[in-house]
Copies of this chain bind each other. A is one copy, B any other.
Amino acid sequence: MTTLYGYFRSSAAYRVRIALNLKNLAYDQAPINLVKGEQRDDAFLAHNPQGLVPMLMTDNGIRLTQSLAICEYLDERYPEPALLPSELEERARVRALAQVVACEIHPLDNLRVLKYLVNELGVEDDAKQTWYRHWIHQGFSALESMLSREAGSGDFCHGDAPTLADICLVPQVFNAERFECDLSAYPRIRRITENARALDAFRLAAPGEQPDAS
């Protein structure tokens, strides 16, 4: 059986849950409580020295890490429905949209970074919120512009079916809403998110639907 080591609020684990659901793959969940620091327990580090979730244990016993690498693996192993288009330039566009979230927004706003700001740099709560929103707005402004003016956009980030880009976008929107970011300047992002959330694959992957949700 495939097992996902994740955490209900982890945005990167959320991506993998969506991908597994889109591929219609059954999986077990092994929750790792990031707030309690379970990702740094020896038992977990022995399997994943990164001390990060998600980790996917495949049905043939291979441990995979890094959410985008896991999603691409799932897409290569289970080609339908495709998470990437078939044309090279379109694949590059979808990956770039995904990476705006995965390389430009999320790394700056995840829990361990916010903890460092507070604990090591003594940043006050207001300034932490401002930091959080700053990187959301930087990234979402770029994404909104790309989604609005590039021909490839449709009901979803690329065309009219979900791709790797939506898999990254929707969890980031969830986080932005949780931190009460004003998303009114991003109508395209909001419409795409609404379309995605109407699908079971996205709805059932949401943090509140997970067994470890609290």
- A73: B residues at CB distance < 8 A: 88-89, 91-92, 95
Asked if B107 and A95 sit within 8 Å, CB to CB, the answer is: no
A104 contacts partner chain B, Cβ-Cβ < 8 Å: yes
Determine how many copies of this chain the complex contains: 2
Considering only CB atoms and an 8 Å cut-off, how many residues of chain A contact the other chain? 46
- A49: B residues at CB distance < 8 A: 141-142, 145-146
CA–CA, A76 to B76, complex, Å? Answer: 14
- A100: B residues at CB distance < 8 A: 50, 66
A70 contacts partner chain B, Cβ-Cβ < 8 Å: yes
Asked if A66 and B95 sit within 8 Å, CB to CB, the answer is: yes
A154 contacts partner chain B, Cβ-Cβ < 8 Å: no
CA–CA, A69 to B107, complex, Å? Answer: 17
User: B-contacting residues of A (Cβ < 8 Å)?
Assistant: 49-52, 58, 62, 64-66, 68-70, 72-73, 76-77, 88-89, 91-93, 95-96, 98-100, 102-104, 106-108, 113, 116-117, 120-121, 123, 127, 130-131, 134, 141-142, 145-146
User: Which 5 residue pairs spanning A and B have beta carbons closest together?
Assistant: A69-B95, A49-B145, A107-B107, A66-B96, A66-B99
